Amino acid sequence: MSDIATNGLRYVTPNGGTGLTLVPRTDEKQTLKDFKSDQEVRWCPGCGDYAILAAVQGFLPELGLRRENIVFVSGIGCSSRFPYYLNTYGFHSIHGRAPAIATGLAASRPDLSVWVITGDGDALSIGGNHLIHALRRNVNLNILLFNNRIYGLTKGQYSPTSEVGKITKSTPMGSLDRPFNPISLALGAEASFVARTLDSDRKHLQSVLREAAAHRGASLVEIYQNCNIFNDGAFDQMKDPALRDDITLRLEHGLPIVSASKAVRRAANGGIEVVDRASVAEDEILVHDAHNPDPSVAFALSRLDEPAFEHVPLGIFRSVDRPAYDTLMAEQLKEAEGTRGPGVLGDLLHGGDTWRVG
């Protein structure tokens, strides 16, 4: 316990790393198998969650982190079963609360790589409040939002990302409420890292995870995920070889924002618009700046997939540097200790007006 005086945590992980060193690394070679737990995976055959699991298991070894310093925290939903299938530390919590639980963990243990697994209902209905606050605080979390635009686990009610008019068991005449766009919501909450990817595109998914993991602070990654039981084909246009290259607007920092046939440019009304790629000069096309401190262009990009999925931006909308919550918290502890020295219990109790009897 030699770190008591220096880091204000009085907490040393059993492997000797202190609470203020960042996540410890390993030199041991890791493979996908190291991250598979012994639990049987229980999603419906064909569910998009399988692809995401395989992509994550395949990606984690490249981080080179000690497995014991990785934690997956989830809420409730089909997607939230995820932690059971990974051989890391895991906490399958309650509906909507994973960002709050993970906030306590990440804020008090900067030596951990903390991942939140959540669904569209989990993150945006019951847990909406926790999500926006974790994002605005910039807690050092990687939040993977599995968006299948439906409640899977409760057997197919519409969700806060379902399109208006969705016919489900709870909305036989069609749903009435406008959906959230998770990217717009996250940008509105001042998230410092916001991205979107697709369950079936392993390469893209892993490239986004790589950036999310490297980002210090809260990263929100929306993953379009097919629920083949209750909302099959929700993202089929994006997977259809005949359509996908035209629909998908790739967001890559420093490159023009285009699909095979479309391009994004500044519109006369001050916003942005999608036009026929052949109709614009190359230098008219908007070049993506993920690091722009002003989120308004990223927000405009997030609105492009409305209303009918004719074109969908995929990639990192925004990635800006902002101090992470745990860093700021630890700095305050250090500052308090630095100016007045570490706390001494006896002095605390004897502080204030005391008097002696007898």
Partner 1 sequence: MTKQVQQLDRVIIRFAGDSGDGMQLTGDRFTAETAEFGNDVSTLPNFPAEIRAPAGTLPGVSSFQLHFADHDILTPGDAPNVLVAMNPAALKANLGDLPRGADMIVNTDEFTKRNLQKVGYAASPVDDGSLAEWRVHAVPLTSLTVKALEGFDISKKDAERAKNMFALGLLSWLYHRPTEATVKFLQGKFAKKPDIARANIAAFQAGWNYGETTESFSVSYEIKPASLTPGVYRNISGNQALAYGLIAASVQSELPLFLGSYPITPASDILHELSKHKRFGIRTFQAEDEIAGVGAALGAAFGGALGVTTTSGPGVALKAETVGLAVTTELPLIVVDVQRAGPSTGMPTKTEQTDLLMALYGRNGESPVPVIAPATPSDCFAAALEAARIAVKYRTPVMLLSDGYLANGSEPWRLPEIDDLPDLRVEFTTQPNGDDGETYLPFKRDPRTLARPWAVPGTPGLEHRIGGIEKADGSGNISYDPDNHDLMVRLRQGKIDGIARDIPALEVDDPDRDARVLVLGWGSTYGPIAAAVRRVRRAGGKVAQAHLRHLNPLPANTGEVLRSYDKVLLPEINLGQLALLLRARFLVDIISYNRVRGLPFKAEELAGVIQDVIDSE
Ligand X SMILES: Cc1ncc(C[n+]2csc(CCOP(=O)(O)OP(=O)(O)O)c2C)c(N)n1
Residues of this chain that interact with Mg ion (CB under 5 A) are 119-120, 148
307 upstream amide cis, omega within 30 of 0: yes
Of 202, 204, 212, 314, the residue nearest 257 (C-alpha): 314
Per-residue mark of binding to partner 1, 124-143 (x: CB under 8 A)? -----xx--x----------
* Backbone φ, ψ for residue 12 (5° rounding): -125, 130
Number of residues in contact with ligand SF4 under rule CB under 6 A: 11
User: Shortest Cβ distance from residue 47 to ligand SF4 (Å)?
Assistant: 3
Rule CB under 8 A: choose which of 15, 170, 279, 296 binds partner 1: 15
DSSP character at residue 255: S
Q: Which long-range contacts (CB under 8 A, 24 or more apart) does 86-94 make?
A: 86/35, 86/36, 86/37, 86/53, 86/56, 86/57, 86/60, 87/34, 87/35, 87/36, 87/37, 87/38, 88/35, 88/60
Comparing CB distances to ligand X, the nearer of 97 and 109 is 97
Strand 113-119 versus strand 141-147 pairing type: parallel
d(CA 318, CA 327): 21
Residue that has been written with the tokens 């019951």 in this structure: 126
CA distances 9 to 21, 104, 250, 268, 315, Å, are 12, 14, 44, 55, 38
Contact between 83 and partner 1 by CB under 8 A: the answer reads yes
Is-contact 255 240, C-beta < 8 A? no
Contact between 296 and partner 1 by CB under 8 A: the answer reads no
Comparing CB distances to partner 1, the nearer of 5 and 167 is 5
What three-state secondary structure class fits 13? coil
Comparing CB distances to ligand X, the nearer of 76 and 314 is 76
117 binding partner (options ligand X, Mg ion, ligand SF4, none; Cβ < 5 to 8 Å by kind): none
User: Shortest Cβ distance from residue 34 to ligand X (Å)?
Assistant: 26
Of 358, 171, 208, the residue nearest 290 (C-alpha): 208
Comparing CB distances to partner 1, the nearer of 246 and 337 is 337
Residues 122-161 contacting ligand X, CB under 6 A = 122, 146, 148, 150-154, 159
Contact between 147 and ligand SF4 by CB under 6 A: the answer reads no
Per-residue mark of binding to ligand SF4, 207-236 (x: CB under 6 A)? --------------------xxxx------
Of 201, 50, 185, the residue nearest 120 (C-alpha): 185
d(CA 123, CA 354): 51
Of 250, 247, 229, the residue nearest 237 (C-alpha): 247
**Token reading at 158:** 């519409």
Contact between 22 and partner 1 by CB under 8 A: the answer reads no
Comparing CB distances to partner 1, the nearer of 79 and 319 is 79
Per-residue mark of binding to partner 1, 297-326 (x: CB under 8 A)? ------------------------------
User: Shortest Cβ distance from residue 287 to partner 1 (Å)?
Assistant: 37
Residues 69-128 contacting ligand X, CB under 6 A = 76-79, 95, 119-122
Binding site for ligand X (CB under 6 A): 76-79, 95, 119-122, 146, 148, 150-154, 159
Binding site for partner 1 (CB under 8 A): 1, 8-11, 13-15, 17, 19, 37, 39, 66-71, 73-74, 76, 83-84, 87-94, 97, 100-109, 111-112, 129-130, 133, 329, 332-333, 335-337, 340-343, 345-346, 348-350, 352-358
Binding site for ligand SF4 (CB under 6 A): 43-44, 47, 49, 78, 148, 152, 227-230
